[in-house]
């Protein structure tokens, strides 16, 4: 697998949406490829951050503002 091919499916890989054989191929590539490993790590961190953001409830005043906007 080339770095290019890995880059194309890396998002699916970190999302856990690939099947076992694809997962295995990418895993092996990442073990031997520093730059793809860094990319995978960044993508993983981004995913975690977005998930945390979505999980954090909006502050009260922001929520009130959104609600008031909706009723206009």
- Rule CB under 5 A: which residues touch Zn ion? 3, 33, 36
- Helix intervals (H) in 1-72: 3-15, 20-32, 34-55, 60-71
Is 4 in a helix, a strand, or coil?
helix
Give the nearest distance from C-beta 20 to Zn ion in angstroms: 20
User: Which CB sits closer to Zn ion, 9 or 33?
Assistant: 33
Is 19 in a helix, a strand, or coil?
coil
User: Which CB sits closer to Zn ion, 18 or 33?
Assistant: 33
Give the nearest distance from C-beta 29 to Zn ion in angstroms: 6
Separation of alpha carbons 37 and 26, rounded Å:
10
Give the nearest distance from C-beta 50 to Zn ion in angstroms: 24
């Amino acid at each position: 697998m080339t770095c290019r091919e890995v880059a194309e499916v890396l998002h699916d890989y970190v999302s856990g949406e690939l099947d076992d054989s694809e997962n295995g191929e990418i895993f092996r590539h990442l073990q031997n490829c520093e730059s793809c490993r860094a990319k995978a790590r960044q993508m993983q961190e981004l995913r975690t951050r977005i998930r945390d953001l979505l999980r954090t409830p909006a502050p009260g005043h922001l929520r009130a503002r959104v609600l008031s906007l909706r009723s206009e």
